[in-house]
Amino acid sequence: MYMMFMISMIIILISLITMMLASILSKKSFYDREKNSPFECGFDPKCSARIPFSLHFFLIAIIFLIFDVEIALLLPIIIIMKFSNMLIWLSTSMFFLLILLIGLYHEWNQGALEWTN
């Protein structure tokens, strides 16, 4: 018990020393207004540095991410087919595909998949 306590204390001590050294070494010693500006060229910005992005592009990216995860969930179904009961496998996979198709139809019906309005 004493040995585990000593090992954990050594690990915590090494972690703290590493974090403190990283904090000390990462400090910038030279602060300049032009260098801290959002543009690297040094000119004063004429407008906001935060450019608004397209919300529609963001929604399409989220939909792609969701369907990408669903594809990753579909791949093991093929491997499981050899080891499971065919009736249970078929009903489960068809139910899963039905949910995916209903979601795709809903997104298509709402117009979320159209790039232009």
Q: What percent of the chain has pLDDT over 70?
A: 75
Q: What is the mean pLDDT of the chain?
A: 80
- How far apart are alpha carbons 80 and 88 in whole angstroms? 11
Predicted confidence (pLDDT) at residue 10 exceeds the cutoff of 90: yes
Q: Tell the residue number behind the tokens 């050899």, with chain if given.
A: 82
Alpha-carbon distance of 71 to 33, in angstroms, equals 49
Task: Show the DSSP H helices in the chain as ranges.
Answer: 2-25, 55-80, 86-110
Of 23-27, 50-54, 96-100, the range with the lowest mean pLDDT is: 50-54
Query: According to the model, what pLDDT value does residue 8 have?
Result: 93
Of residues 65 and 15, more confidence is placed in 15
